[in-house]
Amino acid sequence: MISLFEGEPRLLDPDVPWFYNKVAFVLRRNDEKIECAIEPADHVLVFTWSIDGRTVVRLQLANVVGLAVRQTPESEGLTITTSSAESGSLYIQVSPEVGVIWTLDAAWTG
């Protein structure tokens, strides 16, 4: 995560172990800002993408069970999965450009 977001995370409370803390990674690219705030003990992740100071996307995911950094020659990003199979997975691309891809489980007919 440190290499993906190109820096150390901020901790809400530096005196509390990271697992019980709120850990925020921030990446700035020109006029874009990506923030990924994780609360490990509560299994919560909040993703915010802003352009020129205006929020474009804000997602709050509950029951997060997996975070996986994905790096290929073409792109890099973070895949997020929750305990709900029908929710699918969320991919946050940070390079070469910012993007969000939400893939739902094809078997779910909702």
Residue at 73 is within a domain: yes
Is residue 32 included in any domain, yes or no?
yes
Angle (CA) 109-45-70 rounded to 5° is 80
- The number of angstroms, rounded, from the C-alpha of 100 to the middle of its chain's C-alpha atoms is 10
43-57 pLDDT, tens digit per residue, is 999 999 999 999 999
pLDDT, position 108? 45
Q: Is the pTM of the predicted complex or chain greater than 0.75?
A: yes
Residue 16 belongs to some domain of the structure: yes
> How many domains are contained in the chain?
1
Q: Per the domain annotation, does 90 fall within a domain?
A: yes
pLDDT at 18 over 70: yes
pLDDT digits (tens, 9 = 90+) for 47-93: 999 999 999 999 999 999 999 999 999 999 999 998 887 778 889 99
Tell me if residue 38 falls in helix, strand or coil: strand
Does 5 map to a domain? no
Rounded (10°) CA dihedral 30, 31, 36, 37: 120
What would the mean pLDDT of 3-20 be, rounded to a whole number? 90
109 pLDDT above the threshold of 50? no
Write out the residue range of the structural domain in which residue 63 sits.
10-103
Three-class HEC string of 86-98:
HHCEEEEEEECCC
What percentage of the chain has pLDDT greater than the value 90? 69
Domain membership of residue 62 (yes or no) is yes
